[in-house]
Amino acid sequence: MLTSDDLLYARHIEDRRDQIDAALNELGYDALLIHSGRPKNRLFDDQHPPFRAHAPFVAIVPLPFAEDCLLEFQAGRKPRLWFCQPQDFWHLPPADPENWWAEHFQIEPVGSASDWEPRFRNRRALAAIGDPGVLDGLGDEVAINPPELLHRLAEARTRKTAWERECLAAANRRAAGGHVAAAAAFRRGASELEIQLEYLRAVGQDQDAQPYPGIVALNEHAAVLHYQNRSADPPSKCLSFLLDAGADHHGYASDITRTWTLPEHAEFAALVNAVDLQQQRLCESMRPGANFADLHRQAHLGIAEVVRVSGLVDMSPDDMVESGVSGYFLPHGLGHFLGAQVHDVNGLVAADGEVLPPPAQHPFLRLSRNLEPGNVVTVEPGLYFIPVLLDKLRRSEHGRRVRWERVEALRPFGGIRIEDNVLVSEGDPVNLTRQAFAALE
Ligand code: GLY
Ligand code: MN
Ligand code: MN
């Protein structure tokens, strides 16, 4: 029986086929190949990092862990999937294709890439997307990753189909349960490692299936933006907990951050609430036509207002933003596109291909476009107490405007980030993350 998801996927494939047909036609190619990727061993080793298929492949077929598969598109023809199922007794070969997605492809089971590679070697008017180190075997005639074609396919991915929206919403629902379980573990005094294990258990996904390594940061570790360790030692004090972790659904990511504290830390708790209010206001601003670089400046003004009201810095928000002082407390971008990649493609380029660099003062911003219906963005303002930046601020001409005794009291809490995934629509923005948390209540 057909489900509504089956219909969404059918339309998704129809859209992708139309977009690819149009691009091939306009750029003068007869056919397009998209490779899923191949694991690469570490130097002088037979082990490799966890494998994840290339996003241009995953954005078409829901096989985020399939190795050495190849999609073949030709205008007007049902796309073909060269589906690699090695006869392997070391690893489990991929399961047989499931009908709900496989019916949209002509499936060609193969044992290895050498079964498909000779067919395409030196074929003219053929474009291929994948790792050049792997695809170079196709010979000089094949156009590997031609930029105009890559741009068109990436551009299509900036406006999510109904299927992709549902995958992103489902990835949010999965991760929200993990966040709730992780917060409970924090309140019990668990270590970072224990919290991580609790998160994965609740999400029901192994770490290798996660769209990015979760950031599990207790206390001052919350000041390390991409904190990568997970200490097995329980903390001597439970001050704060920042969790930046998502989940996967058919290759689509959620990317959610929450920050918690305990009621006895009233000053930090008030700061968390103030950042949360600013974040919700920003989420409401994710509307068609809004420029994301402008929204990023709004985020700085909002965080600067929190910094001022909390009595941390004696400057107006405008002056804090103008002078760069807000950047010491919020050194990363407001957000990015989200999809089959956590930091999804074409955030810094316009639809016509014009490069849109981030503002000079905010080089880490990953999205500078005007928003359109169908975009899915993260909204992730923060307020941190980062030792190396605070030292710089102290030495700067603005150092005397800072109430250092208050800042020092907050330093052990590390910082705050609140991150939601928001769908831009013709109407009000749809906050996939808050909807997911609300559904748990
Ligand atoms: N989790 C990475 C990010 O928020 O961009
Ligand atoms: Mn993010
Ligand atoms: Mn994140």
Question: What's the full length of the chain, in residues?
Answer: 441
Q: How far is the CA of 421 from the centre of ligand 2 (A)?
A: 8
The CA distance from 185 to 195, in Å, is: 6
Q: What is the pLDDT of residue 301?
A: 98
The CA distance from 80 to 224, in Å, is: 45
Residues 396-434: tens digit of each pLDDT: 999 999 999 999 999 999 999 999 999 999 999 999 999
The CA distance from 329 to 303, in Å, is: 8
**In the structure, what pLDDT confidence band is assigned to residue 297 with cuts at 50, 70 and 90?**
very high
244 in ligand 1 pocket by Cβ < 6 Å? yes
Q: Is 2's pLDDT higher than 80?
A: no
CB atoms inside a 10 Å sphere around CB 163: 22
Q: How far is the CA of 226 from the centre of ligand 2 (A)?
A: 11
Q: Quick one: which ligand is closest to 226's CA?
A: 1
Contact yes or no for 224/387 (Cβ under 8 A): no
Q: How far is the CA of 110 from the centre of ligand 1 (A)?
A: 37
Could you give the 3-state DSSP secondary structure of residue 156? helix
The CA distance from 193 to 109, in Å, is: 41
Token pair belonging to 30: 């007869």
Q: How far is the CA of 244 from the centre of ligand 1 (A)?
A: 7
The answer to whether the predicted template modeling score (pTM) of the entire model surpasses 0.95 is yes
Q: How far is the CA of 112 from the centre of ligand 1 (A)?
A: 35
Helix (H) or strand (E) holding 431: strand 430-431
Q: How far is the CA of 380 from the centre of ligand 2 (A)?
A: 7
**In the structure, what pLDDT confidence band is assigned to residue 208 with cuts at 50, 70 and 90?**
very high
212 in ligand 1 pocket by Cβ < 6 Å? yes
**Among residues 254, 232, 88, which one has the least CA distance to residue 164?**
254
Residues 344-357: tens digit of each pLDDT: 999 999 999 999 99
380 in ligand 1 pocket by Cβ < 6 Å? yes
Q: Quick one: which ligand is closest to 259's CA?
A: 3
By most ligand atoms within 8 Å of CB, the mutation choice from 255, 416, 418 for ligand 1 is 255
**In the structure, what pLDDT confidence band is assigned to residue 294 with cuts at 50, 70 and 90?**
very high
Q: How far is the CA of 407 from the centre of ligand 2 (A)?
A: 26
What is the 3 state secondary structure string of 2-35? Answer: CCHHHHHHHHHHHHHHHHHHHHHHHHCCCEEEEE
225 in ligand 1 pocket by Cβ < 6 Å? no
Q: Is 145's pLDDT higher than 80?
A: yes
Question: Rounded mean pLDDT of 249-262?
Answer: 98
**Among residues 344, 375, 254, 340, which one has the least CA distance to residue 61?**
340
CB atoms inside a 10 Å sphere around CB 400: 9
The CA distance from 139 to 307, in Å, is: 58
By most ligand atoms within 8 Å of CB, the mutation choice from 257, 258, 376 for ligand 1 is 257
Q: What is the pLDDT of residue 293?
A: 98
Using alpha carbons, list the distances in angstroms from residue 136 to 129, 131, 132, 223, 358.
11, 8, 5, 43, 33
Q: What is the pLDDT of residue 38?
A: 97
**In the structure, what pLDDT confidence band is assigned to residue 377 with cuts at 50, 70 and 90?**
very high
Q: Is 375's pLDDT higher than 80?
A: yes
Q: Is 276's pLDDT higher than 80?
A: yes
Mean pLDDT of the chain: 97
Q: Is 1's pLDDT higher than 90?
A: no
In ligand 1, which atom is closest to the CA atom of 215?
A: 1
255 in ligand 1 pocket by Cβ < 6 Å? yes
By most ligand atoms within 8 Å of CB, the mutation choice from 224, 334, 337, 378 for ligand 1 is 378
411: Cβ–Cβ under 8 A, 6 or more apart, which residues?
A: 220, 223, 385, 387, 390
Q: What is the pLDDT of residue 76?
A: 87
Q: Give me the half-sphere count of Cα atoms (radius 13 Å) on the Cβ side of residue 47.
A: 1
The CA distance from 221 to 115, in Å, is: 49
Token pair belonging to 122: 């030196």
Q: How far is the CA of 2 from the centre of ligand 1 (A)?
A: 36
**In the structure, what pLDDT confidence band is assigned to residue 3 with cuts at 50, 70 and 90?**
confident
In ligand 1, which atom is closest to the CA atom of 257?
A: 4
Q: What is the pLDDT of residue 440?
A: 96
Q: Is 86's pLDDT higher than 80?
A: yes
152: Cβ–Cβ under 8 A, 6 or more apart, which residues?
A: 19, 23, 27
* Smallest CA separation from ligand 1 atom 3, residue: 255
